[in-house]
Amino acid sequence: MKLKVILVLVLFTSLLYSQVKILESHQDYYLLQIDFTDYTIRHSNEFSEIESPTWSSESIAGYPNLPVEELKFIVPANGRLEVNIISQENKRIQLNKPIVPVPFYNEFTKNYDFVINKEFYRKRPAVISGERQRFRIYNFIPVQIWPVQLLESAVNINEKMLIEVKISGDFSNKKFISNNLKDLYAEMFFNYESNHMLASRPQNEISHMPFSQADFWYKLEFRSPDIYLLTEELENLPNFVELQTIRIFGFQKIKEDIQVIQVPLQVDKEGVAFSTENLTGNFVWLTFGGRFNQKSPRRTFSENTVFRKIDKFQQFEVKDLTQLRDQINSIIITPQEFSDQAEQLASLHEVNFDVNTLVVQQQSIFDQYGQVPRAIKNYLQEIYEQPEGENLISVILLGAGTRNWEVASPKNRIITFNGKDDNFVSFYSSYPELAISRIPVQTTEKLNLILDRIKAYIESPNLGWWRNKVLLTADDEHKGEGLEGTGTSDFNHTLKCEETAAIIRDYVQTEKVYGIEYNFDEYNNKPDARQAIVDKINEGCLIWYYIGHGDEDVLGDEEYFNGSQHLRQLQNQDMLNLFIAGSCSVGKYDELNYDCLAEKILFQENGGSIASIAASRGSNPGSNAELFNRFMEQAIIDRRNVGISLWRAKLESKSRSIYNDTLYHLFGDIYLPILPPQVTGEIVGLPDSVLVKQTVDFTGNFSQPQLTGTGIGKVYDSSSWITYTNVIPPDTTEYTVTYLRKGNSIYNANISVEQGEFSGEFIVPVGANDGDMGLVAAYYADEVNHRDYVSYYNSLNFKPQSVHGESENPPQIQLWLDSKKFASGDYVSTNPILIAHIQDENGINISGAPGRKILALLDRSDNPENLFDVTPGFIYATDSHTEGELSWQLYDLEPGKHTLQLLVYDNFGNSSLAEAEFFAQESNKITIRDMLVYPNPIKKDGYFTFVVTEDSDIKISIYTITGKKIKTITSSVQKGYNQIYWNGRDADGDRIANNTYFYKIRAKKLPNGKSTEKIGKLIISK
């Protein structure tokens, strides 16, 4: 068994480092061959670029952007590492332009500046060993390999190197430490299989209040540093207390750490005097007697000292947080007001994931470790370093927080640490020892919403084909007046998305919205791209991944998505996705006066995301892409929970990119299983190729004999490679990218599944894309066990030739609205459901290509907005390929008489047109939805925007956070979307102060007087 494990680990290492070959290996010696042959040199107007698909790239701004690989070697506790180059095969290449630098992100202009730092452009050794570091139970030294060296107007490229790595130190102190992270260590450390026994438990002296050393503790609170005297407060102590045994403890900041010190006291007949002038925080702790080894320090104040009285003196039943009784896997840190919900979340984790979670109140940590961010880090480190903490792997911060922690605000629930929550869990180096996430809630109401969604997602998931889709969205090539991302540059966002798609294509279906495919409007935005994104989100997807430019509220200069304006359009509440933004500052959660997009998308009432991942500051596009490629491998291929996947993706980072990667935060539950259906079984019985008009049979199985019921069968014609190019004169540099466009859906049917086996039949339509990348898929949802499965055949060959077959019989259509009891001329609601039964011996053409769509036209209108593509609403009846049903929701029809026409094509090109007349009739209910303030925060003035379902009288009331009404606005509006202007002033005409305010919109329907109201929040920030 041991031999098998070692062989697996050696194979695993070779897969991770395909450009590194191990020629010889021992615990203290490695001989390696480094190959660098797969590279390209490109030139733009200003710079030269050297790119390699299998190597990482530099990520520190100002340095030359050159390929790099890093190997982390486990070493003994006192170990050293020596690296020598044995031989090199290199070539010298002249360059007319300097190597492109890693750009600086400008927080003010929101642009990247390509600035060469000459200090960083000096010649660098081909192999560099770093300083000894620590990660959890291992000491390690990173070795960086730079195959390209800069010369004067040239580069030296080492295409092959032999290097030897010598490890020295005490190898005799070997120790086995039981843990659950063997596969993680194997991914992280190059020599894990030979040196995994060099483990050791870290032991550090971490300062904290000695609550276990005494039985009575009193908290003394004060407003500012000063000299204080206790007199009558001492009467609250027990009668047996001797004043000489009193001790006072406080916190003192020493460099970057915080220490507990005993405060020197003056004890006399006047009382107990002490100074807080060198202390951190606004409280100290008093005790007496106890089990202390040293005497309490003393001091004397001058006779003219002016003493102050403390503000609060209170006894506490303190708990020593360092005393663990059981092994724990996770810690939830919560404010007191969220404690009950924190326990609910802990219970959810234990029941569903067998995770033993400890809930700790943040104030308890502050009491024992100090009221600073470092206190939480010190507490977590001390818990981890205990024997019971070895299996601790995760932390959840339950509450929002800002960098303005001293301001009283609902957004200050859990303290922040310089804009990076990974700072709380990076104990020994820049690599986080624990996975961490933040649920950025501000109120119990929002927390309950989030917990209800998490519980439903885990315990009663809405299974469906939507969970098999990942939406990839990429920024285009336009930046300012020019192009970016030429060649394989890190700014070629489409190319980076394609790299991600290639990694996951065998496990999920990728939907793509690439900015390059859409046109600008007159405002230099791309609204059609935005609409495509919204449509695909509302159709449902497991993950929505965007890569490109962005800021706190907007994706892309082209406004592919604006949180303040477009969140209201999301209607996917039963299909919540994971939102990932590989972009700058989309997750800037620590601003006091506004919420970032990564936060807001979690709380959208009718949809949004179950969790989000985004950067809190400006980030590097190349490192972003590498990070999320690793994340996709962890989450989709290895099927790990979302927070563990992000953590492990960060741990695979190179030392030079870990800073960038730790800017990325998970907002949501760390244990969410955001998993696609399990790929299993096979699809067989297909011919080598298929022809147009051919009837094709297939069979398959899920390798799950317990599955019996109804599944879904899908067929797509061949995907195709598309090459896009663009040039903007006078710049002659060409932007080009080749990407894979998904085939069209030609078959979507319910299929019978019997003991895991299934079959299907479809007809290849006229106009099907030819090529050998067609897809056949079968999906099954096991509602009892909350699992779903998918089976693929992804190389079906479509030929352009046609079989002989003629049929002029058009499709047969039965058309209804709202119910199958409908008859033409009936009354229906103003939001009716279109229902149609469609039948044809040649099958229905659902490819969605031009001339091959199912189209609905309202009122014979020439207005394109009244023409709907309803093709996605069709599905074949169970085990049929000739008949099925269409269902499509219509919205906001005008009351009165309407005509609806439905155009359908069969797979041979024959068409039918069905028509129905109906009267739309309003209901009596009035509702307000999509209520937002724009902009929010407001600097000077703004608008209240909302949708109301009936003509109404509107009253908008604005309140301070304490409930005082300061302004009322009235207006009469028509049903639908409305915006009402506000000048940002109160009832007296004065500008109102920076703060958070509440507003209430009350709508009273005309003429029957029925009303409704909703409450929202706005921020003033000038």
For the chain, domain boundaries: 2-195, 211-316, 332-439, 461-676, 679-802, 812-921, 928-1020
- Of 94, 112, 111, nearest to 150 by C-alpha is 94
Q: Would you mind telling me the total number of residues written for the chain in this entry?
A: 1022
Q: Domain 461-676: which CATH class? A: alpha beta
Q: What is the CATH number of domain 679-802?
A: 2.60.40.1930
Parts of the chain with a pLDDT under 50: 1-15
3-state SS of 541-608?
CCEEEEECCECCCEECCCCCEEHHHHHHHCCCCCCCEEEEEECCCCCCCCCCCCCCHHHHCCCCCCCC
The SS3 of residue 310 is: coil
Give the list of residues 6+ apart from residue 286 with CB closer than 8 angstroms, or none: 217, 218, 219, 220, 230, 246, 247, 248, 249
pLDDT at 929: 83
Instruction: Supply angle C-alpha 337, 341, 347, rounded to 5.
Output: 145
Q: Do 35 and 481 form a contact (C-beta atoms < 8 A)?
A: no
Which CATH architecture fits 332-439?
3-Layer(aba) Sandwich (3.40)
Beta bridge partners of 139: 75, 134
CA within 13 Å, CB half, 587: 29
Interval 11-60: pLDDT, tens? 344 445 678 999 999 999 999 999 999 998 988 778 899 988 889 989 89
Spatial CA neighbour of 527 closest among 569, 496, 580: 569
Return d(Cα 899, Cα 913) in angstroms, integer.
Answer: 13
CA distance 366 to 216: 18
What per-residue confidence (pLDDT) applies to 488?
64
Alpha carbon dihedral 151, 153, 159, 162, in 10-degree steps, equals -10
CATH number of the structural domain 812-921? 2.60.40.1220
Any idea what DSSP says for residue 175? B
Amino acid at 32: L
> What per-residue confidence (pLDDT) applies to 436?
99
Q: Give the separation between CA 995 and CA 111, rounded to whole angstroms.
A: 30
The listed CATH number (2.40.30.170, 1.10.3720.10, 3.60.21.70, 2.60.40.3800) that belongs to domain 2-195:
2.60.40.3800
Are 461-676 and 679-802 in the same CATH fold? no
In this prediction, residue 486 carries a pLDDT of 75
* pLDDT in the model for residue 323: 87
Which residue do the tokens 């019989």 mark? 809
- Averaged confidence pLDDT in the chain: 92
Contact 412, 405 (CB under 8 A): yes
Q: For residues 95 and 153, give the distance between their C-alpha atoms in angstroms, rounded to a whole number.
A: 5
How does pLDDT run across 93-145, given as a tens digit for each residue?
A: 999 899 999 998 887 777 888 899 888 998 889 999 999 999 999 999 999 99
CA 705 from centre of chain: 36
Chain mean position to CA 538: 18
In angstroms, the CA 320 to CA 51 distance is: 54
Tally DSSP H helices, then E strands, for the chain. Answer: 14, 63
CATH architecture of the domain covering 928-1020: Sandwich (2.60)
Nearest Cα neighbor of 170 from 28, 26, 25, 24 is: 28
Q: Provide the token pair at 603.
A: 């709380």
Q: 0.85 exceeded by the pTM?
A: yes
Q: Any idea what the Cα angle at residue 922 is, between residues 921 and 924, rounded to 5°?
A: 140
Q: Give 455-497 pLDDT, tens digit per residue.
A: 999 999 999 999 999 999 999 998 877 888 776 677 899 999 9
Secondary structure class of 166 (helix, strand, coil):
strand
